[in-house]
Amino acid sequence: MLTLSDVTVRFGSRARQRTALDAVDLSVAEHEIVCVLGPSGSGKSTLLRVVAGLRHPDGGRVLLDGADQSGVPAHRRGVGLMFQDHQLFPQRDVAGNVAFGLRMRGAGREERAARVTELLDLVGLPGAGPRAVAALSGGEQQRVALARALAPSPRLLMLDEPLGQLDRGLRERLVVELRGLFGRLGTTVLAVTHDQGEAFALADRVVVMRDGRIAQSGTPLEVWQRPATAFVARFLGFDNVVPATVRGTTADTVWGPVPVPDGSPQGERTLLIRPAGVRVGASAQGLACTVGARTFRSGRVAVLLRQDGSGDAPPLEAECGLRDAPDEGRAVGVTFDAAEVVVLDAREDGGGFRAAPAAAKQSS
Ligand SMILES: Nc1ncnc2c1ncn2[C@@H]1O[C@H](COP(=O)(O)OP(=O)(O)OP(=O)(O)O)[C@@H](O)[C@H]1O
């Protein structure tokens, strides 16, 4: 349905040019839900704007159903776009907002009224047509914005941070509803978000962006289980990511030898140890560490461990159950579970990116 081929977008004058999209190739199949994920400034919104026709690419092509869109204005592309601040018209009631795109298309009064009723039922706001948008909660406004974007039956629906403004509980609920709704309607969706939890819950396929390029594309499970690079791993909220030399089923790391799964790539690599694979036991066993900070997270405890006698080694994060998490200051021994260790394909990719994982983690 949608193909981006070698799409490049640059901003600014020649002297201070910034490449927002750098030769991006991306395809979205009919009925597929693709979520583009990435830190602030990685090019997510620019990608949507190029597809919507709100920004012309400096290079490359955008194809919809095989047709080149250069020269096709935004309103002729048949794509719906919902922005993060939902931009409802405050002077119109709910029905007036939902009917907006239909009115632009010249639909008659009866057709509009029937479609508004259908859409408001669909998004769980039956009978809300006469209500003033200012009197709606954030979540209700979000549903109205969604109904408005869906009303003209766009062949492709694009969502920019669709649930960005909402509190976490509501977001988690709405994201499940959205996935169900798109599935029932067979809507093709391209959404962008910086929230990995949202992307993983909504998408059939996740595309991770970094500096205007695609760092990884795959199903949520593929990306979660096997991040392509250290950058992707860190963006997903994993902090136990270190250089390693892999020989056979052992990796040599700053934390000493770590077992890796059979058949892992060999040589100079980057290692990811999931917190669930860091086993905390009695101090006589394994790597000697001292328990540092503990953080409660979704019914589990993230425990930061400092390796004794090694000021240089980064802290190790372990995931413990609520009842068995060791107290701060306790001396423990750490062993590793190879099943939770991933040898990443390339050596550390320079992705010393540390700012976003904290934000990404909060929502996980
Ligand atoms: N109109 C513009 N003029 C100049 N630079 C721009 C413009 N729009 C975007 N950029 C730059 O292009 C890059 C990509 O921006 P974009 O808005 O696509 O990122 P994003 O991933 O959507 O970020 P966020 O999550 O913060 O919305 C950034 O470096 C940004 O500063």
Contact of 272 with 229, CB cutoff 8 Å: no
**Burial of 361: CB neighbours in 10 Å, binned 0-12, 13-18, 19+:** middle
**Burial of 73: CB neighbours in 10 Å, binned 0-12, 13-18, 19+:** exposed
CATH number of 2-225: 3.40.50.300
Three-class DSSP category at 222? helix
Its pTM stands at 0.84
CA of 30 to the centre of ligand 1 (A): 27
Return d(Cα 244, Cα 347) in angstroms, integer: 8
Atom number in ligand 1 closest to CA 46 = 18
**Measured between alpha carbons, how far is residue 34 from residues 94, 115, 165, 261 in Å?**
28, 26, 20, 30
Return d(Cα 286, Cα 298) in angstroms, integer: 28
Neighbouring-strand partners of residue 156: 79
Give me the pLDDT at residue 360, please: 37
Return d(Cα 209, Cα 266) in angstroms, integer: 27
Ligand 1 in contact with 225 (CB < 6 A)?
no
Helix residue ranges per DSSP H, 186-215:
196-202
- Among 13, 18, 159, the mutation site with the greatest number of ligand 1 atoms within 8 A of its Cβ is 18
Ligand 1 in contact with 43 (CB < 6 A)?
yes
CA of 211 to the centre of ligand 1 (A): 10
Return d(Cα 36, Cα 205) in angstroms, integer: 9
Return d(Cα 287, Cα 259) in angstroms, integer: 13
Ligand 1 in contact with 42 (CB < 6 A)?
yes
Helix residue ranges per DSSP H, 123-188:
138-150, 168-185
Pairing of strands 205-210, 33-37: parallel
Ligand 1 in contact with 55 (CB < 6 A)?
no
CB count within 10 Å of CB 294 equals 16
DSSP string, 172-192: HHHHHHHHHHHHHHT--EEEE
Nearest residue by C-alpha to atom 2 in ligand 1: 11
Contact of 249 with 338, CB cutoff 8 Å: yes
Give me the pLDDT at residue 176, please: 85
Atom number in ligand 1 closest to CA 47 = 18
CA of 299 to the centre of ligand 1 (A): 36
Query: Hey, where are the domains in the chain?
Result: 2-225, 239-362
Residues 6 or more apart in contact with residue 222 via CB below 8 angstroms:
none
* Domains 2-225 and 239-362 agree in fold: no
Ligand 1 in contact with 40 (CB < 6 A)?
yes
Give me the pLDDT at residue 122, please: 83
Q: Model ipTM?
A: 0.96
Give me the pLDDT at residue 11, please: 93
Give me the pLDDT at residue 157, please: 93
DSSP string, 29-92: -TT-EEEEE--TTSSHHHHHHHHHTSS--SEEEEEETTEE-TT--GGGS-EEEE-TT----TTS
Nearest residue by C-alpha to atom 18 in ligand 1: 43
Ligand 1 in contact with 20 (CB < 6 A)?
yes
Return d(Cα 121, Cα 111) in angstroms, integer: 16
Assigned CATH class of 239-362: mainly beta
pLDDT tens per residue, the chain (364 residues)?
A: 999 999 999 998 877 888 999 999 999 999 999 999 999 999 999 999 999 999 999 999 999 999 999 989 988 888 988 876 667 888 999 999 999 888 877 778 888 899 999 889 888 899 999 999 999 888 888 889 888 988 888 889 999 887 776 777 777 877 888 888 888 888 999 999 888 888 998 999 999 999 999 999 999 999 998 998 999 999 998 999 999 999 999 999 999 999 999 999 999 999 999 999 999 998 878 999 999 989 988 788 999 999 988 777 899 999 999 888 999 999 999 999 999 999 997 655 544 433 333 333 333 3
Can you read off the two tokens belonging to residue 117? Answer: 């009723």
Return d(Cα 251, Cα 43) in angstroms, integer: 35
